[in-house]
Amino acid sequence: MSIEPTVPIYILVFILGAAIGSFLNVVAYRLPKILFDKNYQLISDFLIEESGKRQRFLSGIKLLDKLLNRHDAAVLLEKQKILPVQGLWYLSKPQSSCPNCNHRIKFYENIPILGWLFLRGKCSGCHQKISMRYPLVEFLTGVLTVLVMGRLGFNVEGLFFAFFVWIIISLTLIDLEFRILPDELTNPMIWLGLILSYFGLISVPFKAAFLGAIIGYLSLWSINQIALLILKRDGIGAGDFKFLAMIGAWQGAGNLFNVILISSIAGAVVGIVVQNIRRQKGEQDDAIPYGPFLALGSMVVLLLNLNAESFFYLAR
């Protein structure tokens, strides 16, 4: 069943997407803190237990063993001050507030895009500037939701792929700020893509989805193994393996070539520009996350409906 697209339908879908974008801002900010808090509790409990023993546990892993000595354990335990006073974060609580003055954000201030414009980009409590990232993410999510459902149709498949896009936006925001791609998002999405494909709820054949998940993971894993042999260090994070596996499960093995090609070209261009700017400013070179470029490649392939032969045609 598909709904006939009309102007009011497009407007409603944009509003839905913008509202989801507001939630994605919360996910990108809080989910890493939730994961850190959970892992912190496990690590701190373990260190407290070990600090009371006469013979300390040795794992054989240098970095972990360094953390297990008494001095480093105490330093780590002191880091609890960076966590919320009330303890574990949740996506639904505590209520959104200004990080500068703790002003509780009112419901009308939280209206996607319009709330930021109403406040003129400043907190109503302390008048500190509110990052433009929030309305931009809301606007981008709204636009991408309209584009994806406009291409695939206002039907079940279109809604599922809108959800796929929402997760990709969340992963991109998290990777840009925290340099991680949480398994809590990528792993369930791999399984969901395979399940939807198996039951024919998305138009990607199950064989293509299954191979896409396998090839997506192994392709980047293999590149990283080569980097370990030659450079003696990781070239690509394990989160990227799973992210590309997720993309493969949703878009099929045949689309992975285009995703990798687009992401590699974009990553190389941006990487060269950013590193040159850093050197000119005398800043230390730092790794650039690859996740956002995989997301870009996935979106280009999805929105332009590219197939495995698209770039070969351009070369003729």
Residue ranges covered by each domain of the chain: 156-316
Non-local CB neighbours of 313 within 8 Å, separated by 6+ positions: none
In the chain, which stretches have pLDDT less than 50?
59-61, 63, 70-72, 79-85, 312-316
Which pLDDT does position 94 carry in this prediction?
A: 67
- Model's pTM, two decimal places? 0.82
The token pair at 113 is 């895009």
Report pLDDT for 9.
92
Read off the pLDDT of residues 86-98 as tens digits, 9 standing for 90 and up.
555 567 666 777 7
CB 161 within 8 A of CB 202: yes
**In the chain, what percentage of residues exceed pLDDT 70?**
76
The amino acid that residue 186 corresponds to is T
Task: Give pLDDT, residue 315.
Answer: 36
The residues, ordered by sequence, that sit 6+ positions from 266 with a Cβ below 8 Å of its Cβ are 293, 296, 297
Distance, in Å, from the CA atom of 147 to the CA atom of 145, rounded to the nearest integer, reads 6
pLDDT at 143: 97
If 0-12 CB within 10 Å is exposed, 13-18 middle and 19+ buried, where does residue 227 land? middle
Give the number of other CB atoms < 10 A from CB of residue 233.
8
- Where do we find the tokens 């894993």? 221
Ranges assigned E (strand) in 49-167: none
What is the pLDDT at residue 244? Answer: 96
DSSP-assigned beta bridge partners for residue 154: 3
CB 24 within 8 A of CB 137: yes
pLDDT of res. 223: 87
Measure CA of the first residue to CA of the last residue in the chain; give whole Å.
40
Cis bond upstream, residue 94 (ω within 30): yes
CA angle 22, 25, 28 (to 5 degrees): 150
